[in-house]
Amino acid sequence: MNQNLILEAEGLYHVYESSALDGNVVALRGLHVKVRPGEAVAVVGPSGSGKSTLLKCLGGLMKPSAGNVAFQGRQINRLTGAELVELRQDTVSFIFQDANLLPDMNALDNVAQPLRHQGTSAANARKKAEALLERLGMAGRSRGMPAQLSGGEQQRVAIARALITNPKLILADEPTGALDPITSREVLSLFAKLHQEEEVAFLLVTHSREVASFADRSLELREGRFIAQHGNDVDISDLSSTRELIIDETGTMTLPPEVLTQLGGPGKFEMEVDDEEQILNLTRSDRGELEDYGERGSLVLAGVCPACKHIYDDNSQECPSCGSSRPMVINSEP
């Protein structure tokens, strides 16, 4: 394992045992993941693709059926429970979709709690928590209980709680999934600031193109396999090393992931068969139909409201005519 990587996983498999007629469910199929210090990586894909299972395995919250995970070169599957807790406290923090705040503690105590677990005195933990909440624009809400906070406020408290231990890596599971579009953009702007100014590394799992555009690099996950990468410093070794072309008895064809990457990902293709040479030619026929997760900076605020056709002349987040949230679109300028 490479000690220069903040996170590294090799050959991750995870199988959920089931007594159903369909049998066991293979959620992860030999995944490789690398996150460098200060890098932001997104894992994107639809519901059921294995994103949350992957995050739990990477964070040591779930033991994979096979494969290795390491934080800064230390394999977590070889650590005792106490050693794993200590390593996680020193290295990684989690942000979940629903904030997961302790309901009987106010915002300040929720943020201070991780330091208290590390043995920091209550006074020092609360002092640092107050400073973080002030930095995140929550100084006036620090005494509020979770039920009294809006979704965006709860997520800011969760972010402060994740940052209080000075982690080198933040693992986030659909961190804006429960938020409205405008609050979501505020949270992403905060992530970008932390990433750029504090050099905090991020690994986010999401189905959102807008969230994925925050990252330096995104890995596209389908049915437990990485089928494509987008963004900077793409490393083909992160994709499955399978090389076989498989055609089953129903005629369904499975392509090696690196070939599918070269084809531009899953989609619709026209097929031409040379019977004499036994050659199969595939030509993509669905350009424009595939999901484009884009690259950092490739999404911009829409110039026209899709609901009422109002033309924007500023950076407002809501349409002044109909009140709709202003969407993000792919930047078509070269």
Query: What is the domain-level CATH number for residue 208?
Result: 3.40.50.300
pLDDT of 328 reads 74
Residue 34 lies in a domain: yes
Supply the range of the domain harboring residue 60: 7-220
Q: What are the Cα distances from residue 197, in Å, to 12, 175, 226, 238, 298? A: 32, 20, 30, 27, 21
Provide the pLDDT for residue 172: 92
- Does the residue 153 lie in any domain? yes
CB 217 within 8 A of CB 42: yes
| Cβ contact 8:36 at 8 Å | no
326 in a structural domain = no
Burial of 100 (C-beta count, 10 Å sphere; 0-12/13-18/19+): middle
pLDDT, position 301:
81
Query: Within a domain: residue 311?
Result: no
Domain membership flag for residue 154:
yes
Residue 284 domain-assigned? no
> Given this model, what pLDDT does residue 253 score?
62
| List of the chain residues with pLDDT < 50 | 234-237, 239-244, 287-290
In a domain, residue 200? The reply is yes
Count of structural domains, the chain: 1
Q: Residue 41's pLDDT is what?
A: 92
What pLDDT was estimated at residue 17?
A: 84
Asked whether residue 142 is assigned to any structural domain, the reply reads: yes
pTM for the complete prediction?
Answer: 0.71
Model pLDDT, residue 240: 47
